[in-house]
Structure 1
Amino acid sequence: MIRASARPRQLERWVCSSCLRQRAALAVLQPREPRQLAQVRSLHSVQRSQQLQGKKQSQKQLASPFPSRQTRHYAYVAPTDDREDDNLLRTIFDKPSFWQEYSALPIGMNVGLFQNAYLTSPKGFETFANVSLARARRIVDRVLNAYTVPEYRRIVRELDRLSDTLCRVLDMADFVRVTHPDHKIQRAANAAWDTVYQYMNELNTMTGLYEQLDRAMKNPEVTKVWSEEEKAVAEVLRQDFLKSAVNLPKWERDRFVQLSSKISTVATAFVHEMTPDQAWVAIPSSKMRGMDPVQVRSLTRNGMVYVPTLSAQAALALRTVHDPEARKMLYYASRTSSARSVSTLEMLMRLRAELAELSGFESYAQMALRDRMMARSPEAVDKFLRALAGSNKPRAVAEFGAMLREKQKTVPDAEALEPWDREYYSTILRKQATASERVPRTDVLSSFFSLGTVIQGLSRIFNLLYGIRFAPRPPLRGETWHPDVRRLDVVHDTEGRVAVLYCDLFYRADKSPNPAHFTLRCSREILPEEMDEVWQEQMSQAPRTDMPYFQRPEFAANDGMAFSKIDGKVKQLPTIALVCDFPQNNDDSQPVLLSYFQVETLFHEMGHAIHSILARTSFQNVAGTRCATDLAELPSTLMEYFVADPSVLSVFARHYETDDPVPYALVSRKIRQARLFEGSDTENQIILAMLDQALHSRRARDDAFDSTQIFHDLQREFGSGPPDPRGTRWQGFFGHLSGYGSTYYSYLFDRVLAQRTWEVVFKGGAGGAALERANGEHLKNSLLKWGGGRDPWKCLAAVLNEPKLEDGGEEAMALVGSWGAARQQGGMSM
């Protein structure tokens, strides 16, 4: 997690002179609502005028062949003044009444969700899916019938376009079916997703496509003209085919499909049906001293306190109850999953091992790590985790030593910590760590983080680092799925609009509460022949009135969505949705105020978005976050360092009423308190990553496979603190084993890389380096802009100036592990 890069200075002197100049240049503009609203009305007027003009023009030019269809063609509205956009950002998020008027649309045609001209009604999803499938089948026919060298040279681009054609439906439909409040639209999106997904599965087992790609990759006359990005895409596509066992005989492919289906079923059951061995723990109320008495009373019946095993109350009791016997009872219960959960887990591991063996691999880990992973092998992951464990151990030992010394204050003859002591004594030490500091209460910290201020700050930071900023735009009719959704154009200082960002940041009962970044459409270059093909397709469908009509080929090739045209090249622009669950105020009396860790979450998710925005590759298979899986969290984790840096906070963190800058001592205290035991937390994550590897190793094939024994052995070999006692079996609660499947280490891997990048590229924030354009450009040009289109080890070697990393492998993984993952404590010592 995050640490401030330097010790806190005295309250009035924590900002250096260069930062003060920077802050003055970026001072918050006071709201000037009349002028802003005048601009909004003007903008609405322009858009309405464009709609009417476009409609008249289409009727005039195309009245005979297309008399009953509306034209989807909107000119891009040029950005307003950047200072006006900067002020507007804060206002549209902090003042609901202003947003309501700002987004009040003039009467006009429905442009469709995300400005996709097909998605103007539930029926449109079916139409979009069918049109996309027809295009996909034409591409498949061309690939299967390729036989000349020029045709083979185009195969990678054709297959990438095929993937993009299907993903345009899948990615949007997947987002809509879990986010849109209209159940009819949800069902329509789900049906479209099912239809296209079924076809994609057919393609993944189509041996002809794989064989054609394989021929192309083996022909030097073909590959010699491919770019580095094209070669990367070819390898990604080849691995995707191999994951579907397309190279196996038919009976083995059939078995592969059966196993894959069964694995999916068992994995779902493991996650959704995991249960503790006992549902609740009964403890005499006299033994519950220290816990919130209100909570205790709510759980008490006839002198006994009945604590649900897996609950917030159980976690609170482990932190606060003084009686060690009561904590012991709770610990055993909360660390012991049911025998059924463990049995389901072990069944999942055995099925995955069988699938790997069928595919010709020694283990499931070996199979999983060969595809889009920097580690490439279980041996390399082991090297990383062992090196990280070694670099982290001194800190973990010190932390457990501090807990033991605290215990000895009340139990003088104590020689060791018990497993149920850890949460209790770490909580005491956290309180002591900041009790003597003379700073205001931390609950006032949110006053400096209104949602509008934070979004404004992110725009300023990205402008300083990469020359891009957020420009608010009133959504057109039908463009968004809820009135609360804000639409932002992402504007580059020389290239104009480079992405579209939809912010759905407020809580709704029918929306997932999990913060997330969704890439609704990736970057991809659209060739002239592709636009001609789609244009001819439109002209051939003249009698149909249920299809949208586009005035120009580039609009048709983008389904009406955003694109750029620079130096004659047309690229579809990344379209991104950012989803959070912040509480919303319905009036202007006070804006939505975020806790520090909500701000950190928003920065993290925006780190994913900036990766998608900057990596505007020519191929969608490697665009943005479609990179090595164990590299994907680096940009987002890196953003957590920025939000903890004083020079960065000085750019935006200001009190919502007084406009005073945030006192950094408040932030520093919050961070230090939360990260006080990061070494022991990291050690636990290392052991879980090792468990993930061990369960997906060859051991899963053994008759004596015992996941409980494996977990306990790892704790005793690599843990510095008290291990789980015999009789517990916590691994039955490890739900991440379902989704990660031998890649759980990637969280730790990216933490280390983010810390190293912060220290090497941004100098740990020293001297304002966190906001220097040269540093941002270096990160962008060395790593971010490539997406997955370049060997990630070469990207890392360039960004960190570490030639030893360039070829990857086990030694490179060990080197990364040796850097450690513990962040600075902001001046606090253990």
Structure 2
Amino acid sequence: MSSDNPEIWKAFNAKSHAPTTPRTGLFQNKDLTSPAGFQTYAYRTLKKARALVDKIVKAQSPEELQGIVKDLDRLSDLLCRVIDMADFVRSTHPSQDIVVAANEAYGLMYEYMNVLNTTTGLYRALQRALENQEVVAQLSDEEKTVARILYRDFEKSGINLPAAARKKFVELSNRIAELGPEFANGMAPQKRVLKFPSSKLHGMDPLVVRGLTNTGTVTLPTTGMPASHALRMVEDEDVRKEVYLACHTSSKKQLGVLEEMLRTRAELARLVGRESYAEVALADKMARSPEAVLKFLNALSEANKPAAISEESILQSIKRELGNDTPLQAWDKDYYFAKLIRAIRSHRRSPDILSSYFSLGTVMQGLSRLLTRLYGVRFVPRETSPGETWNDDVRRLDILDESDGHIAVVYCDLFERQGKHPNPAHFTVRCSREITDEEYLESALSGDREDDGMASARRADGKLYQLPTIALICNFPRGDPSKRPTLLVFREVQTLFHEMGHAVHSILGRTSLHNVSGTRCATDWAEMPSILMEHFAQSPTVLSLFARHYETDEPMPTHLLADRIYEESLAQATETRNQIILALLDQHYHSSLPLFHDFNSTAVFHEIYRAYALLPAGEGTSWQGFFGHLFSYGATYYAYLFDRAIAAKVWKDVFEAEPTRREKGERFKEEVLKWGGSRSGWKCLAGVLGRRELEEGGERAMVEVGRWGSDWK
């Protein structure tokens, strides 16, 4: 079924939308047929959860303790079914009534989850199980992994602290929960606008300038498109400098919020016996410690430095050729890079028609062909029932495995529309999990069937699984069926491959327990499969599977791809260096520094910048106030760089020579994908690369990964 024509798809779905067709709920969930159904679903889940909690806290005998880990995992799954579903729906659904209902269900379940995280009875029950050697000996490796995860999660919530300390823990946690969103949503420059005579903005698009001009004076906002346009286009260096400094200087209020958040996190870490918040955040990551992260970042910095210096030298030479012998400055970078790109494009052998070879339909078909060749799975379009999706554009794909049959459901919401979630994203609406025969029988005998109407299936081994249910969100322009289909620019092709990489991690996971299913793995391992898929998107061998002109059906000329990849690589080392600096800043901010009375986030920012940047930051700047990820990542911002280095190495050593060979795909599936989070990322990496010395990780392994950064192209 082609993805190129929305009207064909609507007609395809319309077969099941006849008036006599029974209405189902969102994702075929039997409760979610109306806004009120969210409350029904939440309360039905709460009833099951409370019964399960009662069973767990009462467990005493070895036989009862034997089931603790599976019961806790099932409890987690029950809560996440509602929380993950509601979180997705409230950020995506066009109906305000549904959004409100989903938000209420989310709040109800999230509040209950927080209560459970501090329920000592659950913690003590797990403790009893893990202290019983007879019980531990009977646990599978996967159950032991989940037990460790759950135990750490309990202790992260301060459950093992004395009563007074636990009360303080809750107070600090609540304060962080207030400060974090305030910081993330409060980004603002110290100067909101700048004023210039219009004659000073020569080089900018006259239409943009005209829209900002009143009586000969331009009022330029220091955030958004006009400011970035000015940095790329304005010829006057003094103007660019003023714009750059304003865009990189945060409001004093924002810096105050940031420093209080960092200080509160540091206090929380000390309360639980850690030296820093980074120690808390990294204990269960591949890195394990702040020291290891710093060693990785310093190794990566050294590997990156020659290429970054080379890129800076190119921009310096362009500045010199244009008659300016002064040293390159931070406010010059975008301006001279834009000149470099324009010069390259003016000498291009042919016009940029790359998107003509990437209609959305052919890209989706290409992804299916690639995954069939690598892993033996394929996409099968399926009609949706009335009420199953949140918009008529949403397409359902059933994922079929050549041996296990139906293994996943993916809902693709790929076209732009007003009010839609603004960023490309992968949502796991429901994780894969084995439903044991005992659990199924128990539910059947009680008259309260576990089945919520969503997809489940038995695999070839006879085991029953709830299937992972995934939503892929993109914002591609809608094609005009009467003229041409939706055509993707190359960056959008890479984005679709990236998000599908997350989905594949969930689809091909072979774990029995919810807590380690698919992308539920260490933060600094979760992005690796998706970044690896971007390498596939750049491979001429892979693109030959599908990249054909939407009108002539001619295959894509290889030089078009080479031109685009070259253009994208021109500033890659510089951008990587910027990310290294931000990751270092994240580590220093989440060290013990915020506990010192003279802590100043701006002073730390400039210290890091002087040590690692190739260009000065600009006197008085305080860009850290715009670094919203400091809240959401909290000492783990390095993870994307880390996974990018690993993905580049896996691509080079495993896939690059034969990227569609089944043997390579099976190797990656068996060593990485099938484990989800149930196996150490280091063991997965050692297995897929054939490098057993990496199995235990540690600081030496972190340095090794940092050195792989020199392989980036």
Regarding TM over 0.5, the answer is: yes
Counterpart amino acid of residue 806 in structure 1: E
Equivalent residues of 1:679, 1:822 under 8 A apart: no
Number of residue equivalences? 709
Cα distance between partner residues in 2 of 1:607 and 1:337: 36
Counterpart amino acid of residue 725 in structure 1: G
Equivalent residues of 2:209, 2:218 under 8 A apart: yes
Q: How does 1:81-480 map to 2 (within 5 A)?
A: 88=1, 90=2, 93-104=3-14, 105=16, 106=18, 107-371=20-284, 373-411=285-323, 413-414=325-326, 416-439=327-350, 441-442=351-352, 444-480=353-389
Aligned twin of 1:690: 584
Equivalent residues of 2:407, 2:457 under 8 A apart: yes
Equivalent residues of 2:649, 2:711 under 8 A apart: no
Aligned twin of 1:521: 430
Q: How does 1:502-513 map to 2 (within 5 A)?
A: 502-513=411-422
Q: CA deviation at 1:182?
A: 2.1
Equivalent residues of 2:195, 2:217 under 8 A apart: yes
Aligned twin of 1:41: none
Q: Structure 1's 565 and 412: CA in aligned 2 closer, same or farther, altered over 3 A?
A: closer
Cα distance between partner residues in 2 of 1:113 and 1:420: 49
How large is the RMSD of aligned CA atoms in angstroms? 1.4
Which secondary structure does the structure 1 equivalent of 2:659 belong to? helix
Q: Higher RCO, 1 or 2 (CA under 8 Å, sep at least 6)?
A: 1
Pairing 1:596–2:490 present = yes
Aligned twin of 2:647: 754
Q: CA deviation at 1:536?
A: 2.4
TM-score, with length taken from structure 2 = 0.97
Q: CA deviation at 1:432?
A: 2.8
Which secondary structure does the structure 2 equivalent of 1:508 belong to? coil
Segment of structure 1 superposing worse, 120-129 or 604-613: 120-129
Q: CA deviation at 1:161?
A: 0.5
Cα distance between partner residues in 2 of 1:315 and 1:417: 18
- Unaligned runs of 5+ residues in structure 1 are 1-87, 540-555, 825-830
Cα distance between partner residues in 1 of 2:187 and 2:621: 15
Per-residue CA distance 1:572-596 (angstroms, 9 max, x = gap): 1111111111122464432111111
Which secondary structure does the structure 2 equivalent of 1:503 belong to? strand
Aligned twin of 1:542: none
Q: How does 1:575-594 map to 2 (within 5 A)?
A: 575-585=469-479, 587-594=481-488
Q: CA deviation at 1:392?
A: 0.5
Q: Which one of 685, 695, 705 corresponds to residue 806 of structure 1?
A: 695
Cα distance between partner residues in 2 of 1:821 and 1:574: 37
TM-score, with length taken from structure 1 = 0.84
Which structure would you say has the larger Rg?
Answer: 1
Q: CA deviation at 1:422?
A: 1.4
- Unaligned runs of 5+ residues in structure 2 are none
Q: CA deviation at 1:350?
A: 0.5
Q: CA deviation at 1:786?
A: 0.2
Which secondary structure does the structure 2 equivalent of 1:820 belong to? helix
Equivalent residues of 1:392, 1:822 under 8 A apart: no
Aligned twin of 1:26: none
Which secondary structure does the structure 1 equivalent of 2:220 belong to? strand
Cα distance between partner residues in 2 of 1:274 and 1:177: 24
Cα distance between partner residues in 2 of 1:283 and 1:267: 35
Q: Structure 1's 574 and 312: CA in aligned 2 closer, same or farther, altered over 3 A?
A: same
Q: Which one of 518, 522, 529 corresponds to residue 628 of structure 1?
A: 522
Aligned twin of 1:486: 395
Pairing 1:637–2:531 present = yes
Q: Which one of 591, 604, 619 corresponds to residue 726 of structure 1?
A: 619
Q: CA deviation at 1:300?
A: 2.1
Aligned twin of 2:604: 710
Q: CA deviation at 1:667?
A: 1.9
Cα distance between partner residues in 2 of 1:142 and 1:632: 33
Cα distance between partner residues in 2 of 1:170 and 1:285: 52
Cα distance between partner residues in 2 of 1:334 and 1:482: 38
Which secondary structure does the structure 2 equivalent of 1:581 belong to? strand
Cα distance between partner residues in 1 of 2:42 and 2:330: 55
Counterpart amino acid of residue 98 in structure 1: I
Aligned twin of 1:38: none
Q: How does 1:8-27 map to 2 (within 5 A)?
A: none
Q: CA deviation at 1:822?
A: 5.5
Aligned twin of 1:795: 684
Q: CA deviation at 1:126?
A: 1.6
Per-residue CA distance 1:734-762 (angstroms, 9 max, x = gap): 11111011100001001101100100111
Equivalent residues of 1:369, 1:378 under 8 A apart: yes
Per-residue CA distance 1:621-679 (angstroms, 9 max, x = gap): 00000001111100111111111110111101111111111122122212211220111
Per-residue CA distance 1:508-564 (angstroms, 9 max, x = gap): 21221211111111111111121122212326xxxxxxxxxxxxxxxx333122112
Equivalent residues of 1:678, 1:822 under 8 A apart: no
Q: Which one of 637, 661, 665 corresponds to residue 772 of structure 1?
A: 661
Aligned twin of 1:614: 508
Per-residue CA distance 1:589-636 (angstroms, 9 max, x = gap): 321111111111111100000000001310000000000111110011
Segment of structure 1 superposing worse, 683-692 or 445-454: 445-454
Equivalent residues of 2:525, 2:639 under 8 A apart: yes
Cα distance between partner residues in 1 of 2:212 and 2:94: 37
Counterpart amino acid of residue 384 in structure 2: P
Per-residue CA distance 1:165-211 (angstroms, 9 max, x = gap): 11111111111122122222222222222221111111100111111
Counterpart amino acid of residue 292 in structure 1: D
Which secondary structure does the structure 2 equivalent of 1:580 belong to? strand
